[in-house]
């Protein structure tokens, strides 16, 4: 509504819930181009005479009511319409649908709006939503970072994020896996703090890649079914959950031991070089047979360390860490850009395979550019190449093609000794 020019800062009251529903344009880009919540809030503030914004969805879940009822209460409390609060209450009662819950939500929104009108401020959930999963307080637990894995040499500035990474890895696999994470980070502890932070965050995310075992684990957790029942708000109703799954061959044989399936996997890659067949399934997780299928799959996490996919994922992680470490000897900002490149490795099936190729090309081209520029002592071209490559990929498939072409041309110019031409290519829009 703001984008279309409907509100006016002279007369409009904007009432909004700050929880995010991501747009198509935010979802389709490869690297997650989420529009900054702070800018959305600033736009709402600029085009409103009065702004009442808070997370109505979180409030509704906490008090077992509906977000719409809370926003209706906020509307009543805003004074935008000359309708007394009792009029809204009477309408809710006359409608006769979930009267108790809706009245409870109405009162919450009414109180929130009146508090805002009395000098409260709109809240933004952006800072909280961007924090990695885990508990920052875990950094201060006794017994090492995270209270589970001993790592006394972790710098103070890194302890919070490393603790969150360890908790994530313990939930995903086991103690040995978390210790492997810390061991991989250790070479970066004595270097640049920002670089170490980037590596710690991106490595924790990458090491908890979502395979079929992880998906099955998350879908069979008690907390998931508790949330579904809570959101349904119908305690006496029969709830049927059907999970729509469509794993391809890579995801199926990827969880099996590498030695067992490697010959078949190599044959499948030759047979279907541009995408493997998939197996669509509708699993009713609320039935005994459906639940057991996923529960047994989730118990296969012990196979993960020796699986076909693990071998490939961890080999790529090692190449990335080696590239970051090598680049840090030339230029710390180049190393940071290569550390950020790990955010491109995401997705499932064909998308992830495509992103592997993009990521590998970025590393190879940026390192080659760094090698060519390291002797003269100016690696700014390599640094800018890594940054531009990543930004172009974030634009989608067309950007990926442009990024590959740009990288090829820049490296060719540097190899021929024409650094000014390479810089001109990188400076072009």
Does the pLDDT value for residue 236 go beyond 80?
no
What pLDDT is recorded for position 127?
36
Average pLDDT value for residue range 244-270? 93
**103-107, Cβ contacts within 8 angstroms, sequence gap of 24 or more:** 103/69, 104/63, 104/64, 104/65, 104/69, 105/60, 105/63, 105/65, 105/66, 105/67, 105/68, 105/69, 105/70, 105/72, 105/73, 106/69, 106/70, 106/72, 106/73, 106/76, 107/73
Does the pLDDT value for residue 121 go beyond 50?
no
Decide which of 160 and 3 is more confident: 160
What pLDDT is recorded for position 5?
87
Decide which of 199 and 31 is more confident: 199
What pLDDT is recorded for position 84?
94
Average pLDDT value for residue range 356-369? 95
Does the pLDDT value for residue 230 go beyond 70?
yes
What pLDDT is recorded for position 122?
56
Q: How distant, in Å, are the alpha carbons of 146, 149, 162 from that of 154?
A: 11, 11, 8
Decide which of 395 and 11 is more confident: 11
Average pLDDT value for residue range 253-280? 92
What pLDDT is recorded for position 143?
42
Does the pLDDT value for residue 104 go beyond 50?
yes
Average pLDDT over the chain, rounded to whole?
88
Write out the DSSP string of 358-389. HHHHHHHHHHHHHHHHHTTT--HHHHHHHHHH
Q: List the one residue out of 287, 217, 281, 279 whose CA is nearest residue 253.
A: 279
Query: CA-to-CA distance for 105 and 99, rounded, in angstroms?
Result: 10
Contacts of 281 (CB under 8 A, 6+ apart): 244, 245, 246, 247
Average pLDDT value for residue range 196-202? 96
Average pLDDT value for residue range 97-121? 84
Residues 130-157: pLDDT tens digits? 333 344 334 334 344 554 576 678 999 9
* Whether the Cβ atoms of residue 399 and residue 393 lie closer than 8 Å to each other: yes
Residues 54-95: pLDDT tens digits? 999 999 989 989 999 999 999 999 999 999 999 999 999 999
Residues 297-310: pLDDT tens digits? 999 999 999 999 99
Does the pLDDT value for residue 359 go beyond 70?
yes
Residues 383-429: pLDDT tens digits? 999 999 999 998 888 999 999 999 999 999 999 999 999 999 999 88
What pLDDT is recorded for position 94?
94
Alpha helices in 118-192 (DSSP H): 126-129, 159-172, 175-185
Average pLDDT value for residue range 324-336? 95
What pLDDT is recorded for position 395?
84
What pLDDT is recorded for position 150?
62
Decide which of 140 and 276 is more confident: 276
Does the pLDDT value for residue 113 go beyond 60?
yes
Domain ranges of the chain: 13-129, 139-208, 212-305, 307-429
């Amino acid at each position: 509504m703001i984008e279309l020019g409907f509100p006016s800062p002279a007369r409009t009251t904007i009432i909004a819930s700050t929880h995010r529903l991501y747009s198509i344009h935010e979802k389709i880009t490869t690297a997650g181009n989420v529009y900054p919540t702070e800018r959305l809030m600033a736009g709402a503030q600029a085009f409103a005479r009065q702004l009442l914004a808070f997370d109505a969805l979180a409030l509704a879940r906490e008090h077992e009511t509906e977000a719409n009822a809370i926003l209706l209460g906020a509307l009543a409390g805003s004074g935008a319409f000359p309708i007394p609060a009792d009029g809204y209450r009477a309408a809710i009662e006359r409608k006769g649908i979930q009267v108790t819950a809706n009245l409870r939500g109405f009162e919450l929104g009414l109180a929130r709006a009146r508090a805002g009108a009395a000098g409260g401020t709109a809240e933004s959930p952006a800072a909280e939503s961007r924090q990695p999963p885990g508990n920052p307080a875990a950094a201060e637990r006794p017994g090492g970072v995270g209270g589970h894995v001993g790592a006394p040499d972790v710098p103070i500035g890194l302890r919070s994020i490393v603790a969150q990474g360890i908790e994530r890895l313990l939930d995903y696999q086991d103690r040995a896996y978390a210790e492997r994470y810390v061991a991989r980070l250790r070479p970066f502890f004595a270097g640049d703090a920002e670089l170490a932070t980037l590596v710690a965050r991106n490595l924790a995310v990458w090491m908890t890649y979502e395979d079929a075992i992880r998906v099955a684990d998350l879908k069979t957790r008690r907390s998931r079914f508790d949330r579904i029942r809570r959101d349904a708000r119908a305690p006496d109703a029969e709830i049927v959950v059907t999970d729509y799954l469509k794993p391809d061959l890579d995801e199926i044989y990827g969880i099996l031991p590498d030695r067992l399936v490697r010959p078949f996997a190599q044959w499948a890659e030759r047979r279907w070089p541009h995408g493997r067949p998939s197996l669509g399934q509708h699993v009713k997780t609320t039935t005994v047979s459906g639940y057991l299928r996923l529960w047994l799959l989730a118990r296969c996490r012990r196979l993960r360390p020796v699986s076909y996919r693990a071998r490939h994922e961890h080999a790529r992680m090692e190449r990335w860490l080696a590239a970051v470490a090598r680049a840090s000897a030339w230029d710390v900002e180049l190393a940071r850009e290569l550390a950020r490149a790990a955010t491109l490795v995401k997705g499932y099936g064909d998308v992830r395979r495509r992103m592997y190729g993009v990521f590998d090309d970025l590393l190879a081209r940026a390192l080659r550019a760094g090698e060519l520029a390291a002797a003269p002592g100016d690696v700014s071209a390599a640094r800018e190449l890594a940054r531009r490559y990543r930004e172009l990929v974030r634009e989608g498939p067309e950007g990926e093609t442009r990024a590959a072409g740009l990288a090829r041309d820049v490296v060719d110019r540097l190899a021929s000794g024409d650094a000014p031409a390479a810089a001109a290519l990188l400076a072009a829009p």
